[in-house]
Amino acid sequence: MTQQADADRTIRHPRSHALFEEAQTLLPGGVNSPVRAFRGVGGDPVFIDRAEGAYLYDVDGNRYLDYVQSWGPMILGHVYPSVLAAVEETARRGFSFGAPTQAESELAKLVIGSVPSVEMIRFVNSGTEATMSALRLARAYTGRSKIIKFSGCYHGHADMLLVQAGSGVATLGLPDSPGVPAEATAHTLTVAYNDANAVEQLFHTFPNDIAAIIVEPVAANMGLVLPQPGFLERLRELTQKYHALLIFDEVMTGFRVALGGMQQRMGITPDVTCFGKIIGGGLPVGAYGGRREVMQQVAPLGPMYQAGTLSGNPLAMAAGIATLQELRKPGQYEKLEQKSELLGEGITRVLHDTGINAQLQRIGAMFCLYFAQEPVTDYASAKRSDTALFSRYFWEMLARGVYLPPSQFEACFISLALEDAMLEETVQSVEFVLRQLA
């Protein structure tokens, strides 16, 4: 990073800088979730004051087109009128009761009506809780202990899922973070994304011990890695053959790549699906759901214990219901697809014209521009990206009013609030910045 660029940043963000200085004395790293600290790109994060539609406004009065969308939930854009109205109206009747409300069934009906594999659902408060509970459910249902996850897939921060990304060969899990005892990940088997042969090997080795495979059907936490043709199909076949459950973690892809998520796009039926992000419309929520016979294991109907003081919280349910009602209107996903295409074609043309060697990977309303020489298919190839180049790109885009995720290994999101003119403006910014970097 040049000194000039550093100086520009301080001039543009003096209040953010001051607030970050204070926050660092109070919160570890100044944040409540690590990527927010901008460590992936170096420098201080911008502090947000408010948002509306496609835009974020920071505390220094800068305006940005938002391609982060709170890491996925804000697919309608910020402060969407019907969602705001629903939350305001609900708040007047009380924030939380710890007793059943009709809204929980309303949101359940919307999810069940949109995602065919889901016959019953349990709401929780985060994606982390959803995956943690789904795995407990799979273990309860199968009476087995081992699970398979893929390196570079993120399923929240539960101990058993914080496993070192091994590449290539199937490896027995070792903890990724201090504080996770080896025992907690002893049953977690990790293989490379898109490597169905390695999965088959594990089933050969442990034919009666694997409770479930958990997978992001599009890997959206190492940038954006698409499943190769046949990969998810093989996972479905192998789990069926060995009587293990297939868990789709659609916390990111659910209601984003299609109304019915990636499973609808692919025509694959998992046993259990995890949700979060969009189904809470920006309020804290998660959920896991699936086949009735499997979900019947969950307490109090079945013996698998799982509970939550704020689970099914009225405000979160209201925001989720209003969001899904909007998304279920005809033509919404076609619109998202058109926006994604407009942006994708623009960036592809810029890459061609500038001769920059980068990979645009894209599906539905999500994309990632990897500064990598080759297409990215797994965690190992994602890690070959030029993160220093990404970081220059990130800061230049920010200076031009485009807020991207502050890491090469995060996906960018398109919202319905992004108008075609805004997308075209973004392409122009990409062109300007990449010409500078070329």
Interface positions with ligand PLP (CB under 6 A): 126-128, 131, 154-156, 216, 220-221, 249, 251-252, 276, 286
> For residues 23 and 316, which CB has a smaller minimum distance to ligand PLP in the complex?
316
Q: How far is the CB of 290 from ligand PLP (least distance, A)?
A: 16
From CA 378, how far away is CA 387, in angstroms rounded? 16
Query: Which class for 93: exposed (0-12), middle (13-18), buried (19 or more C-beta within 10 A)?
Result: exposed
Is the peptide bond preceding residue 73 cis, with omega within 30 degrees of 0?
no
Q: How far is the CB of 187 from ligand PLP (least distance, A)?
A: 19
Q: How far is the CB of 276 from ligand PLP (least distance, A)?
A: 4
Q: What is the DSSP letter of 36?
A: G
Q: 255 and 114 in contact (C-beta within 8 Å)?
A: yes
Measured CA angle at 388 (ends 152, 350), to 5 deg? 90
Query: Is 154 assigned a catalytic role?
Result: yes
> For residues 17 and 256, which CB has a smaller minimum distance to ligand PLP in the complex?
256
From CA 312, how far away is CA 330, in angstroms rounded? 27
φ and ψ at 137, to 5 degrees?
Answer: -60, -45
> For residues 146 and 155, which CB has a smaller minimum distance to ligand PLP in the complex?
155
> For residues 251 and 423, which CB has a smaller minimum distance to ligand PLP in the complex?
251
Contacts for 46 with CB less than 8 Å, ≥ 6 apart: 13, 16, 58, 59, 60, 62, 64, 398, 403
Q: Where are the beta strands (DSSP E) in 165-237?
A: 171-172, 188-192, 210-215
> For residues 155 and 362, which CB has a smaller minimum distance to ligand PLP in the complex?
155
Q: How far is the CB of 280 from ligand PLP (least distance, A)?
A: 9
Contacts for 154 with CB less than 8 Å, ≥ 6 apart: 216, 221, 222
Catalytic residue among 277, 339, 370, 393: 277
Query: Which class for 292: exposed (0-12), middle (13-18), buried (19 or more C-beta within 10 A)?
Result: exposed
Query: Is 329 assigned a catalytic role?
Result: no
Amino acid at residue number 294: V
> For residues 19 and 317, which CB has a smaller minimum distance to ligand PLP in the complex?
317
Residue among 192, 159, 158 at smallest CA distance from 175: 159
Q: How far is the CB of 223 from ligand PLP (least distance, A)?
A: 12
From CA 254, how far away is CA 217, in angstroms rounded? 10
Q: How far is the CB of 391 from ligand PLP (least distance, A)?
A: 22
Residue among 153, 318, 150 at smallest CA distance from 234: 150
Catalytic residue among 80, 154, 379, 403: 154
Among all residues, which ones are annotated catalytic? 154, 249, 277
